A and B are shown apart, each in its own frame.
Chain A
């Protein structure tokens, strides 16, 4: 019996062979560009097990949260009544804070937004976002030839307030990709401005509209107040210190845990982000 010629074998299975080749190319590219350890079977096993565990943890968390939400609802109702009473009192307050903020923003605009920044910076326009929903990418119209390089911090000014947007994750010749602080891949060494506790701010995805401040000592629970500003601490050297990240919205975490989990509302509204500043040189501590 004679084996069929090789070219006949491949031509008959052209689709299958092409599929395997394309998948192989994709996997190799992914393994290299993700700096992955996919060739290590132990790490693959760990990753899969961790993934399965996190799915179960998510399901368990869902039922746990539902159960807890009943008691939470009662507490929220009480808080709502207290807040309504407080709102009535605040409405009598003679100074209109909103008006002051608008006036402040207009004055800053006249003076030039850039005056609020120290050090060397580069203004840029947001030209595109991520084409899908799995990742968060902001593309700006400044690249290597303008002096932008990987790792630089990016800030924005909105309503007269300066807030951290993220950092440059890939600088091409004329454009750059920015990884926003809302992305799950983003971590920022942070500090609570008034209470001076350190922590780590991580993104929870673009749709969540919140950030998660973790690794804050339990002792800070009573000291932290609603609305306290969270800014970069400068630890690790990835971001310059003093850049505002967001404001505390909710202090969570169980009493038996070592650290708190604090929800932080970003200063920057990413939905209406049009102009940003790349901090080429932060000019030292701010």
Chain B
């Protein structure tokens, strides 16, 4: 198994845990019924570190899982997460991840873009979503997710399976 495949599998496992936590206990730390998008943080971490292919495959898989756990039509989250995983993966090798500022800016920026894409997809496909970009809930989610990004990035960097191998570091 390659380093990328191992990292993808570990991230998928972490995402499954994140989806479960979001569905159950996360509401206890919700701000005005809004929970942070921890799956987005995990996806961005993987995509920026490993590239577009692991990013989009993981994004698609976790998106389908979210669709199945929700009243969302099948494909809604899958489409959004695939695009996010691919787009963030294109930044692989071009982004220096400092401990604080870059994770915050990256996650906040992508969370806003994800919201815009969700509104566009919902409009085109006639899917009624509960939180639009003009709702306070959307901006709470963006801020909450952005603030959570630096500590989660720090913790994820400690996981051995997600670290680049010696050969990858040398390249």
Contacts and interface: CB of A to CB of B under 8 A. Distances in A.
A128 interface: yes
A176 to B, nearest CB: 11
Contacts of B24: 127-129
Interface string B17-60: 00110111001000011110101000000000001110011001
Interface stretch (B96-104, B135-143, B159-167): B135-143
A179 B118 CA distance: 19
Interface string A106-140: 00000000000000000000011111111111010
A57 B79 CA distance: 28
Interface residues of B, number: 57
A66 interface: no
A38 B118 contact: no
Contacts of B72: 134-135
A19 interface: yes
Interface string A166-208: 0001100000010100111100000000000000000101110
Interface in A130-164: 130-137, 139
Interface of B: 19-20, 22-24, 27, 32-35, 37, 39, 51-53, 56-57, 60, 63, 66, 69-79, 82-83, 86, 89, 118-131, 133-138, 140-141
A271 B33 contact: yes
Interface stretch (A22-30, A82-90, A93-101, A214-222): A22-30
A183 B71 contact: yes
A29 B124 contact: no
A-B pairs with lowest CB-CB distance, top 10: A29-B75, A30-B75, A51-B123, A26-B79, A34-B73, A207-B137, A33-B73, A128-B23, A205-B130, A33-B74
Contacts of A184: 128-130
B78 A34 contact: no
B126 to A, nearest CB: 6
Given A58-B134, A132-B22, A134-B72, A23 B33 contact: no
B164 to A, nearest CB: 18
Contacts of A136: 71, 130
Interface of B is mostly: helix
Contacts of B123: 47-48, 50-51
Given A23-B79, A133-B130, A18 B71 contact: no
Contacts of B128: 183-185
A285 interface: no
Contact of A130 (B32, B39, B69, B73): B69
Contacts of B126: 34, 36-37, 47
A80 interface: no
A15 B73 CA distance: 26
Contacts of B120: 51
Given A36-B73, A129-B24, A132-B39, 4 more contacts: A30-B74, A51-B119, A135-B72, A137-B71
Nearest to B36: A133
A26 B82 contact: yes
B134 A55 contact: yes
